[in-house]
Amino acid sequence: MDLVSYFQSYDDYFWEWGTDEDIQDNTGYSENNLLSIPNVGVIAYRAYVIEILKELKDQGFPPFGSLLLVLYALQDGYLNLNGAFFHLKRQKNIYLNDFELAVTFLENLSHSGRSFKKGQNKIILLKTIFKDCHNIISSGASDLIIRRFEKRPHKISESAHKSDLMQSVLNRDIKVLALLQNKFPTTESIINAMKNIVDVDDLEDEIIEEETTVETDKDFIQELMEDPKTFQVGSLIKRIWSGLKIPMRHLSPGEQPIGGVSDMTNKGDFSRMLLSEFANEDEVFMNRVANNEALYIQREIPPEENIFERIILIDTSIRNWGTPKVLAFASAIAVIKHPKANSECKVFALGQNTIPISLDKVEQVIDNLNQVSPVLEASNALQKFFEEEHKEKDLEVFLITNQENLSNQNLQRVIHENRDRLKFLVTTSANGELDFYKHHKGARKHIQKIVLPLKELWANPPQIKSEGHNDNNSKKNKRIDVPKNYPLLFPTPKNKIATFLYEGEFYILSSKKQLLRTYVSSNYYNRNYYEQYKIHRGCEVLIENISVKPKGKFALARNKQQQFILCQYQPDKKLVSKLNLNTKEYSELNVTGHHIPLNFEPIYFNRAFYLYQEDFPSVFKLNIDGDLSIEMVRNNDNISKNLKKVEVEINKQIHNETKILSSFNNIGINTENNLVISSYELAKKYDNSLTLYKNRSGIRSLAQQDKNKFMFSDGSEIITDSRGMLTFTSSNKNIPVFYIPSSEDGFLALATAYEFGGSEYYLPESSKLKIREREEMYSEYLDAYIDQILAYGTDH
């Protein structure tokens, strides 16, 4: 295929060439520099598409129409996919099945996380999905198209003259996307394929199932303002937002805006050197190249976001008590919850020691506002922080302290010695002043002053409700708290960070940052029975809100106090860490000097952690108790034997994953008198076993939604839990509260606080629940619950 044929446009098709006269092209040919969907929107500029194709040429080009649809679906911002589909639907001979598959694939792409759609991650995604795709052009032909374009960019004008749209062109572009949908049916499958190409940071965070009932940061700020204990903090945050000038995103320095003089650099490949440089005499030319004075054109890849981690240090020493502390916590939450913030953030309280804290819930804010330290100033804790912890380069450290503390010589010294790592300094005062400073190239620069009118903002605090006082308005727009565990086990989630076998018990570190324990049937060791029935169990939650990044590899053990210790190894950062899941105590160690080879992973064996690889004569031993340390020891065949047993057991046991219904919109009762959860019907089929099926009946009674609570007209309620559980409370007080899992796979169960019926999968291992026939349980509780709602609707 030649240059003109590949870029050929067609009459009545979804895309066309256009010209943006305000944009100059460095090829010298500035016409037909834009690709767009007629009456819908811009797909991309030609220069950008050419740079994308240069990245793809080694594996070959996909059909141009397929590439344009994918690029449009990956745009970050408003998309009108229906507008693009409109042009395709107009074609009479389009294969309907292929079209529907292609539409599904593009919609899945458009719903992917923001990090997929930017910078190098976007290139990796495109390479992943188009590798060996249908109708691909050979790498040799692709390279020839690029080289011919670079020599004769004006040839695009021939492609811009539209030809008649042939059936083969339409089928070629759509068939590729239809086959890609079969190959990558979900976003998670694309991510897994990307991991086989390159280790992409932060992708795991993007695949956590979305929850439509999750509270937003706006709701969180409102909750802070409505609670008398956090009102002062919450009322300051939006005012701080309105004046905050701290950058929330950083662009990589070598990838600044494209085009013109701003796109020139003094470093690059010879292929990107300005032609004018070659006009110099040989000696001048060589001098300019050797001294980095020659000019090059940067590659036209959009600026890539520099993902960094923020650490906020809040001074809790004596001078920072009272109003300064309120301002400090308000400033920290304003940075963490800023609408444009996209970096991970850790918070520490500085006093006698450095204590990690969390500010994601109202209860946590209340608890941590009570963090006080009797020391006069926190210089020792700050010095220890910089000496022993967090030595990575991609950090942005904030220190929030009282303005008066800056006069302390010890604190001044520590700040000065670590000014290269302390990015921002924020000072507070009792009269409501916030001063923001930035350290840059060894100097401290005052960025801004924010004066908060405290009397005005704190003039109308919420009233403390007397105990037992029932005010419906106070509960409006608040999520109903859900318990840590239920009488039933949770379904085992598909999205996991890691799985472990420790001393005969199976554990899961879930993508929701929880430590779960799962079970197998007591008949596990009866091989004949177990191989035939394979009775697994669900999960119980042991620990929640674990502060961990889903990066690298993990191992799990218990210390002498029987507390869970999580070991994490990040080979890209040469960083090994220990986290006590019970006390939140954290320590880390940079192991760069130990020259640990690739493919080493953390494991547990015989009361110690190891960084281990079977084929090496020496491995690295890490302690479970005490301060984190590492030593090289001889490899042991027993470690390999144990590890293989563990892998066999985990592969055998923790594959009972279920698809959890975690997003809830419509809940009601259909015309078949069955409960409807979102698009699923809770029906009794297959010997009266309770299962979720696709609902195909109309709704006769619909519940009203308020966050994660759904209420029917009679007052009956359903509380949803995105971890996979539903709580039913009937307006008929003779029907006790009962629970049903929201799993889309397999048979379900029903339990009250005292009774259980249904699939053994959801029965806790040491449960004291009375086991009853499932038909009786479903009739006595679920059917009665539905009958109560319908009877109320009939009578009223």
Is there a single domain that holds both residue 566 and residue 429? no
Q: Is 742 helix (H, G, I), strand (E, B) or coil?
A: coil
What average pLDDT does the segment 354-374 reach? 82
Distance CA(49)–CA(74), nearest Å, equals 13
Which has the minimum average pLDDT: 98-102, 260-264, 331-335, 690-694?
Answer: 260-264
Instruction: Tell me the pLDDT tens digit for each residue of 721-757.
Output: 989 999 999 988 889 999 999 988 788 999 999 999 9
pLDDT at position 565 over 90? yes
Q: Which two tokens stand for residue 149?
A: 């374009």
Residue 130 in domain: yes
Highest mean pLDDT among 338-342, 385-389, 716-720: 716-720
| Distance from the first to the final alpha carbon of the chain | 72
What confidence tens digit (pLDDT) does each residue in 163-222 have?
A: 988 888 888 888 899 899 888 888 777 777 776 554 444 443 333 333 333 334 457 888
Among the listed residues 727, 724, 734, 733, the one whose alpha carbon sits nearest the alpha carbon of residue 710: 727
In the chain, how many domains are there? Answer: 5
User: What is the per-residue pLDDT for 247?
Assistant: 66
Do 30 and 159 belong to one domain?
A: yes
In a domain, 162, yes or no: yes
pLDDT at residue 653, rounded to an integer? 62
Give how far Cα 121 sits from Cα of 116, 299, 321, 483, Å.
5, 16, 45, 38
* CA gyration radius, the chain: 31
Answer whether residue 355 shows pLDDT above 50: yes
Do both 84 and 198 map to the same domain?
Answer: yes
Of 411, 216, 188, the closest CA to residue 318 belongs to 411
Whether 533 maps to a domain, the answer reads: yes
Q: How many other C-beta atoms are found inside a 10 Å radius of the C-beta of residue 490? A: 25
Of 600, 621, 653, which residue is a domain's last? 653
Q: What CATH number does residue 362 fall under?
A: 3.40.50
Q: Are residues 26 and 85 in the same domain?
A: yes
pLDDT score for 92: 64
676, 687 contact by CB (below 8 A): no
Query: Among the three residues 619, 653, 687, which one is the final residue of a domain in this structure?
Result: 653
Nearest Cα residue to 628 out of 658, 663, 586, 592 = 586
Q: Looking at residues 337-349, what average pLDDT do you find? A: 78
Structure tokens at 597: 């080879």
Instruction: Say whether pLDDT at 62 is over 80.
Output: yes
Asked whether residue 213 is assigned to any structural domain, the reply reads no
Same domain, 11 and 138: yes
Q: What is the mean pLDDT of residues 568-575?
A: 90
Q: Across residues 24-43, what is the average pLDDT?
A: 81
Angle at 758 between CA 706 and CA 491, to 5 degrees: 55
Looking only at the bridges linking them, the beta strands covering 553-558 and 296-297 are: unpaired
Contact between 728 and 667 under an 8 Å Cβ cutoff? The reply is no
Residue 123 pLDDT class (50, 70, 90 cuts) = confident
Residue 97's pLDDT is what?
A: 76
pLDDT of residue 299: 54
Please check whether residues 680 and 611 belong to one and the same domain.
Answer: no
pLDDT of residue 169: 87
- Mean pLDDT (the chain, rounded): 81
Q: Has residue 504 got a pLDDT over 70?
A: yes
Concatenating the DSSP letter of every residue in 484-540 gives S--SSPBPPPS-EEEEEEETTEEEEEETTS-EEEEEE-TTTT-HHHHHHH--EEEEE
Most confident among 85-94, 104-113, 601-610 (mean pLDDT): 601-610
Q: Contact at 8 Å (CB) between 741 and 538?
A: yes
Same domain membership, residue 400 and residue 500: no
Q: How many helices (H) and strands (E) does the chain have?
A: 23, 37
Taking only the tens place, the pLDDT of each residue in 506-519 is: 899 998 899 999 87
Task: Note the pLDDT tens digit of each residue in 1-25.
Answer: 788 999 999 988 888 998 877 666 7
Distance of alpha carbon 537 from alpha carbon 656, whole angstroms: 8
In a domain, 488, yes or no: no
Give the model's pLDDT for residue 750. Answer: 95
Inform me whether the pLDDT recorded for 718 exceeds 90: yes
475: in domain: no
Q: Is the pLDDT of residue 309 over 70?
A: yes
Q: Are residues 155 and 25 in the same domain?
A: yes
Q: Is residue 356 part of a domain?
A: yes
Q: pLDDT of 437-450, one tens digit each?
A: 888 777 888 888 88
Claim to verify: residue 173 and residue 69 sit in the same structural domain: yes
**633-682 pLDDT, tens digit each:** 888 888 888 888 888 877 766 555 678 888 888 899 999 999 999 889 99
* Single residue among 457, 485, 505 that ends a domain in this structure: 457
Whole domain around residue 543: which residue ranges? 496-653
d(C-alpha 682, C-alpha 674), whole Å: 6
Are 545 and 572 part of one and the same domain? Answer: yes
Q: Is residue 359 part of a domain?
A: yes
> Does one domain contain both 332 and 227?
yes
Phi-psi region at 696: left, alpha or beta (left = phi > 0; alpha = psi -120 to 50): alpha
Decide if 613 contacts 599 (C-beta within 8 A): yes
Query: Based on the domain organization, do 187 and 53 belong to the same domain?
Result: yes
> What is residue 471's predicted lDDT score, i.e. its pLDDT?
45
Report residue 329's pLDDT band, with 50, 70 and 90 as the boundaries: very high
Q: Detail the DSSP E strand segments found in 27-111.
A: 34-37, 41-45
Other CB atoms within 10 A of residue 542 CB: 16
